[in-house]
Amino acid sequence: MDFSTSSLSSVCVYCGSSNAADPDFIKAAAGFGKILADEGVRLVYGGGGVGLMGSVARSAHDHGGKVLGIMPQFLRSREILFDTVETVVVTSMHERKMMMFEQSDAFVVLPGGIGTLEEVVELLSWRRLDLHRKPIVFLDQKGFWRPFFELVDHTIESRLTPEAFRAAFRSVAQVEDLLPTLRVMLEETRGLNMMLGAADLT
């Protein structure tokens, strides 16, 4: 279990690797990269130089931010490893996801495809199993994530996911709101952990 609530020093970003994505999504990814750099928060991401991934990483790096890319060996050429920044090459997707999780205090989900979905659903499933309480915030730009939220709601309304799971993640519409929301969630988790700690003593 990882219930640690350090300050926000590293944020993992899950996002699409497609260069054909809506240019506004690619621009927003760059905007978030700059915010991370300006606020001195390290970016942890999948290591690619394409799509929103490349956009967020290049922007964070260009604005003087710290970046850690984690890339499986077999994807190095397909996702065009962005090796201007610190990069770890791993052997499998599992290792990549585990390292991205371990190296981060919180998670941001920008628009993405199947790979992004896979990563965030696994992270949410770990939360559902109470394996961690790290904050997760989606950028719901142009309502991109609405169908996903509706599917989660559907599982809650069908009594397959508990109502309390709604607190597992939040969404914002503007990149400027991502870090403040993560910080609020981190504070709330800290409060919850203190309460649970106190309860443990009784």
For ligand AMP, the closer of residues 145 and 189 by Cβ is: 145
How many other CB atoms sit within 10 Å of the CB of residue 188?
14
118 binds ligand AMP, rule: CB under 6 A: yes
65 binds ligand AMP, rule: CB under 6 A: no
When binding is defined by CB under 6 A, the residue of 35, 119, 135, 141 that contacts ligand AMP is 119
For ligand AMP, the closer of residues 13 and 185 by Cβ is: 13
Q: Which listed range, 5-13, 15-23, 24-32, 102-110, lies at the site for ligand AMP (CB under 6 A)?
A: 15-23
Q: Give the residue among 21, 105, 99, 86 at the shortest CA–CA distance from 55.
A: 21
49 binds ligand AMP, rule: CB under 6 A: no
Provide CB contacts within 8 A for 88, sequence distance 6+: 47, 68, 69, 70, 71, 99
89 binds ligand AMP, rule: CB under 6 A: no
Residue nearest to ligand AMP (CB): 115
CB of 202 to ligand AMP, least distance (A): 41
Backbone torsions φ then ψ of 19, nearest 5 degrees: -75, -15
- Looking at 9-76, list the stretches that DSSP marks H as alpha helix, in order from N- to C-terminal side: 23-38, 51-62
93 binds ligand AMP, rule: CB under 6 A: yes
CB of 56 to ligand AMP, least distance (A): 12
| Cα 185 to Cα 133: distance, rounded to the nearest angstrom | 10
Please report, for the chain, how many H helices and E strands are present, in that order.
Answer: 6, 7
42 binds ligand AMP, rule: CB under 6 A: no
Rounded (5°) CA angle 167-169-173: 125
When binding is defined by CB under 6 A, the residue of 36, 75, 136, 182 that contacts ligand AMP is 75
| Structure tokens belonging to residue 159 | 């009594």
26 binds ligand AMP, rule: CB under 6 A: no
Q: Give the residue among 75, 78, 42, 80 at the shortest CA–CA distance from 61.
A: 42
The residue count for the chain: 202
95 binds ligand AMP, rule: CB under 6 A: no
Residues that bind ligand AMP (CB under 6 A): 16-18, 46, 48, 53, 75, 79, 93, 96-97, 112-116, 118-119
